[in-house]
Structure 1
Amino acid sequence: MIIAEVVRSGFVESVHHGVVAVIGGTSLGDVDSPFFPRSSNKPLQTVGLLNAGLVPREEADLALISGSHDGERFHVERVRAMLAATGLGPEALRCPADLPLGETPRNAWLRGGGEAEPILMNCSGKHAGMLATCVINGWPLESYLEIDHPLQKALADAVSELADEPIAALGVDGCGAPIFGITPIGLARAFLRLVEAEPGTPERRVADAMREHPELVAGTGTEDTVLMNAVPGLLVKKGADGVAAAAMAGAGAVALKIADGATRARVPVLIEALRRIGLDVPAMPEVILGGGRPVGEVRAVFG
């Protein structure tokens, strides 16, 4: 199903297909076929870490564990502090070496002569949370990314329970950790459970930490951060390859996947879906440039 189109100089030059699962409104496309939610799974996995005994230094750490950080200084320093609190250092991380995800921190890092490091990788917060949970339980550290590790079994159980469906497929995410396949409607259902859970439960702790510290979920000026700051109570988490999920207690939830993985269509489609469940969401235009000036836009098309 076409859910977005690229318009340049008034001419529709291309379209993006995909699915939008909506709780509290009308879904578009096949929302019952499983896919890999990528980093949109992270908040669900953080619930699994808490269920497995994770004791964060402070609640704000849960936002970073659930996030895909831009690699700003405050992100990296917090990951380092999380590791140190468990007696570990950055060398314990099994995510690949990378540069900061955000353009501004990446350019600053390179100008300073920096090179790729695992702690800069956008998933290093999640990995630090995984390691902390292993330390608490006395589980092996070297193999924490293996699918048969007790940590990963606990995370799979949490994702399945929150989505209220079995894990449909297992894969390996970009950071090297297992990724669990569920349906778009299952992902939306899981996000709604996070925001509508009772205060103090693992689900609500994760949702509250992310909404109270959105800059730790993503970074300065990044879409997740901007949306959660603009709409109090909204929970948002993007994922790679054109994935996003969001929920608001009392309104509903959405989960989307752009079929070709295009990130440029993600925000327009997400905003339109949120407006369809009655939320007042600010415009965040996805502008097409020509010669350095705006000549078009990517816009949602909900048939």
Structure 2
Amino acid sequence: MSHTTLPIRVPGEPPVIREPAHVPVAHVVRGGVVEGVHHGSVVVLAADGSVAFQAGDIEAACYPRSALKPVQAVGLLRAGLPPLDDAALALVAASHSGEAPHLATARRILDTAGLAERDLRNVPDLPYGVAEREEWLRHGLGPSRLAQNCSGKHAAMLMTARARGWSLDDYLDPDHPLQREIAAAVADLTGQGIARVTVDGCGAPLFSVSLHGLTRAAARIATAAPDTEEGRVGQAMRKHPEMVSGSGRDVARLVRALPGLVAKDGFEGVQIAALPDGRAVGVKIADGADRARMPVTAAALARCGVDPQLLAEFATTPVIGGGRPVGTLRAAGALAT
């Protein structure tokens, strides 16, 4: 089906596509010896939006992966997503674990729109959460579109397309009016053009921006008035961090430890976190290692002025030898000074 071309407002130039100049940001220390080094890039924004700290290459084009979901959620609201309660809206911005409330809420979004799981076009998968996946397999269940961690976002995309009278089968086409509306929100909130469009793991269009732009978007969401689309997404994510991730996941625990924080992780070592006054951090681990993501994020938040005692449980990860801790994974380089 052909679509009417909608203009995308591009506030600034897109970031440059290049090999990022990442720097060491984390050390794996075993028995007092640096066993491994994770490279990456980090940006810390002050409350006025200026760059208070940076390490590595914060302006190169990168793929935010699921860290972009809060921005996509704003785009869906701007495109006409019908009203949802905060728990459901949090799931729209989620990479959920596949817990019962996650699946029930995704199903509720579909039911409200008169749709079903078969209408989803995300890639079928097992639940993302380890315990949830094991339980799923114990019951003899296989991959499903509802269990896949992006099902909340996809359910909301379908709900929006139906509300606007747009076609459903091709809602993931980058030229679909829905995706063009989302792209416009990405450009607006990041303050830059989109460098490249590709396909994310779930099948949805993925927009390449810089780490700086992504972090700027997180700050926009965290500081927005509650009656705006950005503010509604931020409020939902703050109130229901377990819907955005899962019970016990590190991002949910971080939001609970820092009231008012908006935070979202993404595959390939991406993390954003923003405080209500506009202070914000963005992290990209070069090798995509998830284990380095949270210690580096904690160090960046300390650079924001967050009390290190509140960050203590996130600042290091134990390195295990013989079944006991023999070292730590911790922030390094300029972040450690």
Q: TM-score normalized by structure 2?
A: 0.88
Which of the numbers 195, 198, 220 marks the counterpart of 1:168? 195
CA drift of 1:251 comes to 5.2
CA RMSD in angstroms, aligned pairs only: 1.0
Query: Where does the alignment leave 5 or more consecutive residues of structure 1 unmatched?
Result: none
**Runs of 4+ in structure 1 over 6 Å off:** none
Are residue 154 (structure 1) and residue 181 (structure 2) matched? yes
Question: Which of 153, 158, 162 is the matching residue for 1:131?
Answer: 158
Show the 5 A alignment for 1:19-168. 19-24=41-46, 25-168=52-195
Q: Tell me if the contact between 1:188 and 1:255 (Cα under 8 Å) persists in the aligned partners.
A: yes
CA distance in 2, matches of 1:171, 1:56: 29
Match of residue 301 from structure 1: 332
Q: Aligned partner of 1:10: which letter?
A: G
Q: How high is the TM-score relative to the length of structure 1?
A: 0.98
**Which residue number corresponds to residue 28 of structure 2?**
6
SS of the counterpart of 2:83? coil
Q: Contact 2:29 / 2:328 at 8 angstroms: preserved in 1?
A: yes
Q: Does 1:265 align with 2:292?
A: yes
Q: Counterparts of 1:162-241 in structure 2 under 5 Å? A: 162-241=189-268
The one-letter code sitting in structure 2 at the alignment partner of 1:237 is: K
Q: Secondary structure at the match of 2:207?
A: strand
Match 2:38 to one of 6, 9, 16: 16
> For 1:88 and 1:56, how far apart are their aligned partners in 2?
16
Distance across 2 between alignment mates of 1:169 and 1:292 = 45
Cα distance in 2 for residues equivalent to 1:270 and 1:139: 39
Aligned to 1:136, what secondary structure does the other structure show? helix
Q: 1:87 to 1:251 in 2, by over 3 A?
A: closer
Instruction: Give aligned pairs, total.
Output: 303
DSSP 3-state at the match of 2:94: coil
Separation of aligned partners in 2, 1:299 and 1:214: 25
Partner of 1:289: 320
Q: What amino acid maps onto 2:36 in structure 1?
A: S
CA distance in 2, matches of 1:218, 1:160: 25
TM-fit CA distance, 1:295: 1.8
Residue 76 of structure 1, CA deviation: 0.4
* C-alpha distance in 1 between matches for 2:120 and 2:111: 12
Cα pair 2:263 2:273 within 8 Å, conserved = yes
Structure 1 contact 97–117 (Cα < 8 Å) conserved: yes
Report the residue type matching 2:39 in the other structure. Answer: H
Equivalent-residue separation in structure 1 for 2:202 and 2:74 (angstroms): 19
Percent of residue pairs bearing the same amino acid type: 48
